Structures are given as structure tokens and as C-alpha cells.
């Protein structure tokens, strides 16, 4: 079975240089999920009512509820 579809072959090629979809792969196990924090943070950032640093801080703070390494 080979991928006759050139586009799917393209995707397979792209996967050779891949990294995880971070928030979904690592931070969707407990609430608040990294995903929900990031989604609303980025919406606010793009609307101009939150800075990138604030979005990062809200992710860290929310995730620290259950992710030990962030509880410092």
C-alpha cells in the first residue's frame, strides 16, 4: 500500500520535521486545559486586550494547578 495521493505524500514528508501540537498533546489531561486557556488568551491577544506576556502567564498559572513543574 503506497500513498498514490500526492498531497498525502506531502503530509508524510512534512511529518519528518514535526513536533507536538503542544497544548493538545501535553495539556489536555486536566482542567483548566492548556487548550482552553490558550484559545481564549490568543483571542484576547489578537483583539489587543491582552499582551503576549499576559497570555503566557495565564497559561502557566492555569496549568500549574495540576502540573507540578510549574508550581515553583
Cis ω for the linkage preceding 32 (within 30 of 0): yes
In sequence order, what are the residues at sequence separation of 6 or more whose Cβ sits closer than 8 angstroms to the Cβ of residue 50?
41, 44, 58
Q: According to the binding rule CB under 8 A, does residue 66 interact with other proteins?
A: no
Give which of 56, 53, 54 is closest to 70, Cα–Cα: 56
Q: According to the binding rule CB under 8 A, does residue 50 interact with other proteins?
A: yes
Q: According to the binding rule CB under 8 A, does residue 28 interact with other proteins?
A: yes
Binding site for other proteins (CB under 8 A): 1-3, 5, 7-12, 14-15, 17-26, 28-33, 35-47, 49-50, 52-53, 55-65, 68-70, 72
Amino acid at each position: 500500500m503506497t500513498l498514490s495521493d500526492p498531497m498525502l505524500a506531502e503530509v508524510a514528508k512534512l511529518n519528518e520535521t514535526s513536533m507536538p501540537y503542544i497544548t493538545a498533546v501535553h495539556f489536555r489531561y486536566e482542567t483548566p486545559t492548556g487548550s482552553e486557556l490558550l484559545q481564549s488568551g490568543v483571542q484576547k491577544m489578537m483583539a489587543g486586550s491582552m499582551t503576549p506576556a499576559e497570555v503566557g502567564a495565564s497559561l502557566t498559572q492555569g496549568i500549574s494547578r495540576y502540573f507540578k513543574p510549574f508550581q515553583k
